[in-house]
Structure 1
Amino acid sequence: MIEGMVAESLSVVALVAVLVCAVVRPFRLPEAVVAVPAAGLVVAAGAIPWAHVREEAGRLGPVIGFLAAILVLARLCADEGLFRACGAWTARWAADRPRRLLGSVFALASLITAVLSLDATVVLLTPVVFATAARMGVRPRPHVYAGAHLSNTASLLLPVSNLTNLLAFTATGLTFTRFALLMTLPWLAAIAVEYAVFRRFFAADLDAPAEGGTGVEGPVRLPRFALLTVAATLAGFAVASACGADPAWAAAAGALVMAVRALLIRRTSAVTLVRAAQLPFLAFVLALGVLVRAVLDNGLGGALDRVLPEGTSLPALLGTAAVAALLANLINNLPAALALVPLAAPSGPGAVLAVLLGVNIGPNLTYTGSLATLLWRRIAHQHEHAVGLREFTLLGLLTTPASLLLATVALWLALLV
């Protein structure tokens, strides 16, 4: 019994230490610098058996492979000028009208998040939004905050839109297309709530006249090769799913096509491609998975199982989404998904999708809810844009509960069809 208590305490302390370091990032060190040794310590102490370590590695392997491929693909698309072209399009469409620019950013961020994952929106689109707002001479706050919120909310649509979705996709037993069909209505509902609140919350910024801008950028070359490759990769996700293959293969094929072309025309190098894959972050994801499994094995799994509702009735779905959102804000959405997906799976795909609503929409409530939000905050600070805790939290309180409620009701209706 004492050994069990020690194992439980060690697992919890290690997980908390890793999450704190992921938020604070002391000396700007990669998250893996703490996570990998912590996972090794937990394994060496016997808090998790080797069989469970191998099982977790086998479960996360394809997910990590997909993530690496999609990160490389997004980086190469940026090098081709895809995001710059998107910024020029939004500026021309907005025509110096901030409210139209907000609508354009919402549409663009939602699409990029859904197709190229939330990391592309945070890392690659956010700087473009800053540059576009500066050229137009409009206040950047509403548009920059839109990128932060939509990197979470708009990641509901496809299995490939978020790392949490990839973790849950296999557990749902759904095809790629069926997953997308079930999540379309919740995706639209959540984005609509966000847009309505943003228009009111940032009314003063959106009504302020444009001043000091340099004008809309001239014609920008449309990167057709990048667009065609992304479209083919997206189609490949659906084909792979229908054939029983992992989406990682389609992502790898798309990244390989872009990488070979970029290398041939000397637009990139092998070192740059390896850096784009963010290997330290991939190691962090694997280590985090082992730590969460250790905590679940040593007591947390039973506690969560007792509070998680069973079934797919509307009250059960609402309860599941609420528990997932709360846990995401307490321990971050990635470990929350790792912990809750296996517990929700016996209740069917609807319950797993409700978990995704909670862990994807819920993080908009706090800074620490998702790694994407933390990364967005760092990028905002690099552009000398202050992000206030009070403003962020107030905006989260106005959007998150309503978005989660309507999205869950929309999921319930989609499951009835």
Structure 2
Amino acid sequence: MRSAIVGAVLLAVGGVLIATGVLPLEDAAAVGERVWPILLFVVAITIVSELCAEAGVFAAIAHRAAEWGRGRTLVLWLLVVVIAVVTTVFLSLDTTAVLLTPVVVVLARHVGVPPLPFALTTVWLANTASLLLPVSNLTNLLAQHRLGGPSPIEFAALMALPALVAILVPGAVIAVLHRRMLVSRYHPDEPSVAVDPVLFRSSIVVLALLLPALVSGVDVWIPAVVAAIVLVVFFAVRRREVLRFSLVPWQLVVFAAGLFLVVDAANSLGLVRLVDAVAGSGEGFVDLLRLAGTSAAGANAINNLPAYLALEGVASSPHRMAALLIGVNAGSLITPWASLATMLWHSRLVGLGVEVSWWRYAALGAVVAPLTVVGAVAVLTLAP
């Protein structure tokens, strides 16, 4: 609700800026034209993810992972890493934070291991693995538009090495921190997931068709909307009570819409010149690291979305845009407000009775974020 309130205030401020001429109506219309497909995709993919969770897809995956782990906690954790990466890459970081977090917590408790290392894996990878594809993060969709609409494959070619580093570094830190737990063993029970077989199978089919469609080069909002409509129809027939307004991430939409207007107005008033002096220029390692570091600091100070919008104007080439994304995505691991995914993750943990020390979270993030950003920028210089 807080994000919705902030978004409503930002929309009101944006309305005042338009009315007073600070933000010309033509510029505001251009902002709307740019962001409506992105926000529509966010709405559609959230509905798809929520309905798949209701159908038992994620719970079934978690139970199957417990079986595949064969009693070895390390193998089970590695399977969680894979699931978190795949979910983030194709269904966005917010999906991982909202839907996968309770699954891995229940899974950890089910096999008798502490849930926090699994939950920490989820939130770190939700942020860092979101570098790979445009659909993985709202900032990536904005960057794709800014770069002139490269295909998902072209986008992934630029971000593949940084994304790999951004997955390996947090994973390695967790493996070292929790090495004693990871060498333990557990005794898996038989999975017992009560699901509607029609909804379960239809959700699996929809996901199987949706994932390749998201990297096919078609505007991502189109397959996402189609998938959402198909699942809504199935649920309307089988479990109508699940179809509630809360499936729509309206708070995020309001927050993002207001933010776009206000930051665009700030850019027209000279914000770009200010951040240009801080973020510098050039495409050498030091130059890219300067931009990534600036964007990471901005993300942890305010939030990764406004940090991206403020610095977008100085990302004048594909490599500089990649460095910006490294900072706002992989670098947002220190403060709890650095990304919406982290805030959603925390709210899920509170509901599950898992305590998180923000001081410890920030201390760990202050180690992992710089290592991840530096490593990702270093390999970025190897990209063509």
Residue 62 of structure 2 is matched in structure 1 by: 87
Q: How far apart are residue 411 of structure 1 and its match?
A: 2.0
Residue 163 of structure 2 is matched in structure 1 by: 187
Q: How far apart are residue 284 of structure 1 and its match?
A: 1.5
The question of whether the paired residues in 2 share the 8 Å contact of 1:233 and 1:251 is answered with yes
What residue identity is the alignment partner of 1:159? P
> Which TM-score applies when normalising by structure 2?
0.91
Residue 246 of structure 1 is matched in structure 2 by: 219
Residue 275 of structure 2 is matched in structure 1 by: 304
Of residues 204, 211, 214, the one that matches 1:237 is 214
Q: Which residues of structure 1 form unaligned runs of 5+?
A: 1-17, 23-28
Q: How far apart are residue 217 of structure 1 and its match?
A: 2.2
What residue identity is the alignment partner of 1:321? A
Of residues 170, 174, 191, the one that matches 1:217 is 191
Residue 351 of structure 1 is matched in structure 2 by: 320
The question of whether the paired residues in 1 share the 8 Å contact of 2:84 and 2:100 is answered with yes
In 1: Cα distance, 2:274 partner to 2:313 partner: 14
Runs of 4+ with >6 A deviation: 219-222
* Secondary structure class of the residue paired with 2:133: coil
* Cα distance change of structure 1 residues 52 and 131 upon mapping to structure 2, 3 Å threshold: same
In 2: Cα distance, 1:323 partner to 1:406 partner: 16
Q: Which residues of structure 2 form unaligned runs of 5+?
A: none
* Cα distance change of structure 1 residues 206 and 270 upon mapping to structure 2, 3 Å threshold: closer
Residue 256 of structure 2 is matched in structure 1 by: 285
How many pairs does the alignment contain? 380
Matched, 1:266 2:243: no
Range 277-286 or range 358-367, more displaced: 277-286
Residue 130 of structure 2 is matched in structure 1 by: 155
CA deviation map 1:299-331 (0-9, x unaligned): 322101222232333222222211111111122
Range 304-313 or range 117-126, more displaced: 304-313
Residue 48 of structure 1 is matched in structure 2 by: 23
In 1: Cα distance, 2:251 partner to 2:347 partner: 18
In 1: Cα distance, 2:91 partner to 2:98 partner: 11
What residue identity is the alignment partner of 1:313? G
Q: How far apart are residue 49 of structure 1 and its match?
A: 2.4
Matched, 1:336 2:310: no
The question of whether the paired residues in 2 share the 8 Å contact of 1:91 and 1:216 is answered with no
What residue identity is the alignment partner of 1:384? G
What residue identity is the alignment partner of 1:353? A
Matched, 1:362 2:334: no
In 2: Cα distance, 1:102 partner to 1:31 partner: 37
Of residues 284, 291, 296, the one that matches 1:313 is 284
The question of whether the paired residues in 2 share the 8 Å contact of 1:31 and 1:280 is answered with no
What residue identity is the alignment partner of 1:308? A
The question of whether the paired residues in 2 share the 8 Å contact of 1:142 and 1:205 is answered with no
In 1: Cα distance, 2:153 partner to 2:136 partner: 13
The root-mean-square deviation of aligned C-alpha atoms, in Å, is 2.4
Matched, 1:401 2:370: yes
Residue 376 of structure 1 is matched in structure 2 by: 345
* Cα distance change of structure 1 residues 206 and 42 upon mapping to structure 2, 3 Å threshold: farther
> Which TM-score applies when normalising by structure 1?
0.84
* Cα distance change of structure 1 residues 394 and 343 upon mapping to structure 2, 3 Å threshold: same
* Cα distance change of structure 1 residues 308 and 247 upon mapping to structure 2, 3 Å threshold: same
The question of whether the paired residues in 1 share the 8 Å contact of 2:56 and 2:193 is answered with no
In 1: Cα distance, 2:354 partner to 2:214 partner: 37
In 2: Cα distance, 1:270 partner to 1:60 partner: 28
The question of whether the paired residues in 2 share the 8 Å contact of 1:141 and 1:205 is answered with no
CA deviation map 1:335-354 (0-9, x unaligned): 1112222331x3x2121111
In 1: Cα distance, 2:25 partner to 2:243 partner: 34
In 2: Cα distance, 1:270 partner to 1:126 partner: 20
Q: How far apart are residue 57 of structure 1 and its match?
A: 1.4
Q: How far apart are residue 227 of structure 1 and its match?
A: 2.9
In 1: Cα distance, 2:350 partner to 2:235 partner: 31
Residue 62 of structure 1 is matched in structure 2 by: 37
